[in-house]
Structures are given as C-alpha cells and as structure tokens.
Structure 1
Amino acid sequence: MANGNATSSTEAARYNVTGMDCASCAAKIEKAARGVAGVRDVKVSIASQVMTLSVDDPGTRLPAVEAAVTDLGYRLNRVSEASDDDDDDRIPDLSHVTPAYKRALWIVVLLNVGYGIVEAAGSFLAGSQALQADSLDFIGDGLISFLGLMAVGWGLAARAKAALLQGVFLGLLGLGVMASTAYRIFVEHQPESLLMGGFAVVALAVNVAAAAVLIPHRKGDANVRAVWLFSRNDAIGNLMVVLAAGLVFWTGTQWPDLVVAFIIAGLFLQSAWSIIRDARSDLRDAKG
C-alpha cells in the first residue's frame, strides 16, 4: 500500500529520457517501468522526452525502474527536486551535451534531412511510393534530432509547443503520402525497380553512417544499444523498400511498392499522432 511519504515523493519521480525516436520506444519504456513491483502509474512522453511515474517506496523502487529502462538501451537523467514545483521549469541534465556531441547531432540532422530530400526526389524519378514514404521517415528523424538540438535547456511548455508543431507538420506529410499512394491504386504505374532499389540501398548506408557518428558520444553500453535499436528500426524500413523493389521486378506489378508504402506511412502517422498527443498532454501539465 502507498503511504503519505511515498505519495509526496512521487511528485519528484520524473526523468528526461535520451534515445527515444518513435512511439514504440516510449511504449517499450512504459512497459518496462510498469513491470517493476510498486509502480502505480507511468507516463512516457515522446514529445518532451520525459517519463513521469508514481511509485510506492521510491527509495527502493526507483533504482529498479532506472535499471529496467537503461537495460533496454535508454539513458535516464533524474529531474532535479528543485524543479518539481513548476512543471514549466523541468530543465534537462545537460552534462552529456558537449560541443562534440552537438556537432554529431548536427551531422545526423544534415544526413537525415539531406538524404530525405534526395530520396523524395528519387521517389518521383523511380515512380515509387515506398521510396516516398521512406523519405518521410528520414525527414522525420532529422526533424526530431533538430528539435532536440534547438530545445536543449528549454522548459516543458516550450518543448511541448515545438513538438506539437512538428507533429502536425509530420502528420500532414504522412497523410499526403497515404493519399498519393491510394491514388496510385487506380492509376497503373510500375516503378523503376532498379532505381528504387538503388536509392533504398543508399538509404541503408546513410542510416549506418548516422549511427556511426553518434555511437562515440553515447555514454555506456546501454546507450550504444539505444543507437543500435533505432538505427536497426530505420534499416528495417530501408530493407522493406529493397524487398519491394525486388518483388516489383519479379512480379511486374506495382503492388509490392504500394503495400510497403502503406506500411511505412502508417507507422509514420502513428509516430506523428503520438507526438501530437503527448505534446497536448504536456501543455496541459505545464499550465496546471
């Protein structure tokens, strides 16, 4: 049973999370935290990169929660007790944000956004909806990294407002891809499979390069695993496009391209909605 002391300590049980880049990351962290005995409630916001939880006996339970989350490959920084009275002043621990780390993040932003634009152009050249959807994934990753750079040291409300705008923008892009893919169902058009596969292979190389840039700046084995986890997820999307290109070549139809486009765009829209939902919730918390 929770007691009065546990309840008062619960208000300080907030962490900034490093390593999240999608809704599935937040869901995995929440599941791990809920798996610890004594944890009563958990909220993980991808928009503000904050985990808030209530626990019984925080002195015992919180170290167990920290171990469960870091074992997944994410970095946790406890929000200082002094900031608990004002939600808008939940300022992250910036000890890991060195000039070299910020330069690495800028490289990742340029790689993701730059190749996202290149791949978007390639999707028109190849006539591939799957490439178009994958290019959005690159642009989305780049914008998330860009927001992380720009929002270093911002309070909760400012981060939530920026994330809300980002989520709406990304959601509109995703809906645009869904609409154009649906249109292609009624317009017979076989993509250029070799060109499509070539752009997807380069996309995989760019994802590997982005991970290689970040790995030296991650502290500890768990954070190296975090880089691997979200780089692996991005690579799966690239490989799906390569597979679709092979099936387009083999079957002589556009359907593999359209199916993969719907899958990638659907996952992209899910992430955009998670950002919007979390940002709105964070804004309510900040005002409260």
Structure 2
Amino acid sequence: MMEGVSEINEDLLIDFRDVAFARGGRNLVGPVNWQVELDERWVIIGPNGAGKTTLIRMAAAEEFPSSGEAYLMGEKLGKTDMRDLRSMIGVSSAALAGRIPDEETVADLVISAGYAILGRWREEYTELDLDQAFEVLERVGAYHLADRTWGTLSEGERKRVLVARALMTNPELLLLDEPSAGMDLGGREDLVGYLGDLAMDADAPAIVMITHHVEEIPDGFTHALLLDEGEVVAQGLINTVLTSENLTKAFHQPIQVDRIGDRYFARRVRSGGAHRR
C-alpha cells in the first residue's frame, strides 16, 4: 500500500475514521470512529442535540464531514459521485416527509424513489414499477393506502409509507430517522414489530435507526451507538451499550434500564438529575 493512502475495507457499508462535523464554529459531531457491516442492525440513541441526525446525514451522503475520512460502500465521500452513493441508500426521515406534496398519491411516492425524484411529473411508470411498489407497501402493511394521497394519511400511515419508499430501490443500507416519532402506542408497536421482522430477515439491507427511546428498539437489532453532545458515550453490541450506567451518563440523570424479553425499557429512578456541563 502506498504511504499516505488509507486501506479500504469493502466489507464495510459505513466506515467513519475520526469523522467530525462542525458548523458556525461549533463542533456538532465527533470525532467518531464507526463501522457498519452488511448483516448489522444499529440503533443510534441519545438526547436532543446529541448529533444523531447530523451523523446519519453523513451516512446518507447528504453532508460532508469537516474532518476525518468517511467511506460509504467502499467509496470515499468527496471523491465519488454522491448521486451514485445515494442510489444505494434508503432514507426515511421527517425532513423528507416535510417536502412531500399533499396531493401526491402513495403509489407515486413510493415508485418515484426509483427515479430519485420527489413528486411525479411526466414520468411513465411500468408494470414492473407498480408491482414492486405494491410489494413493498404490502411488506410494511400499507398496501391498502396505495391510492390515497399523502395529505390524507395519519402520522402512523405516513411512517409506514416512508419506510416503503426507502425500500423501493432495494438499498444496501437503510437509514431510519426516528421512524416511530409522533405515533400512538398501537401504531408504534405495529411498526416496531415490522422493523423487528425486517431486522431478522437475512436478505434485508443493513439498518441504522435513530431513536430517543429504548422502548422503540425492535427485536433483532444487534448494535448500538450512544451519543451525547456530539461525543460517543459507548458503542458496540447492543446489550453492552444499553446499560443503566451508560444511559445515566448520556442523559445526565439516573436512568434504570431493564430488558423484558427482547425489548428494552428505561425510567428515571430518583429525583434530582445532574445538570449539563
């Protein structure tokens, strides 16, 4: 290997090496060392302002790091066509939801992911497009919504449709930014159940999910990254990261974490939490 040239591990879908992101003179994330392999399912958890969304935007090839080296699918950010990388990554996020026209039909919204656009204009979709869209909608329990418009959907229905859109292109990497946010208990549990099934599917893409709440972590997730104020508190196998000690440190108050079956639950154990520095 030539001196000064980093060795690329092609088995890694995400390979962040001392990656940091700064804006307005303030460091928002990092430095972070983080690697994600094909068969791994990661949850990123931490309080508001921890840097979770910034980190996942870099993983979605939507932001460049301010320093360090970031590789996606073996390609270095800044040295490759970002559009090619994005075609291999499925994303579901509130930012995307806010850009969808109310009159867009669910079927068109899902199909248009394959054309890397948002909002159908003059595109002519094929029977293959329609069949694939109906298949992914059925997988997430949203087949019955195909003819509905975005503006008529409930929050829970929107979350399912966004996951379907993210899966439409058969991505290698699936990024979910708070997929259960705003859902009622029944809707959340339905979605958590589906994501658990997806996580257990050997043919599913690698998954990275952001959440604030350990209760929203589906069965089948293998790893966790715990952030606070842009810094890594802990990362690794999920059962070694989601501990009372680690969450107490990240959330600056005494947190008790319990595992019941295959799900995690957290609660504050006494009054008088610590103040942030």
State the TM-score, normalizing by the size of structure 2. Answer: 0.27
Larger Rg: 1
Q: Which has the higher contact order (CA 8 A, sep 6+)?
A: 1
Structure richer in helix, relative to its length: 1
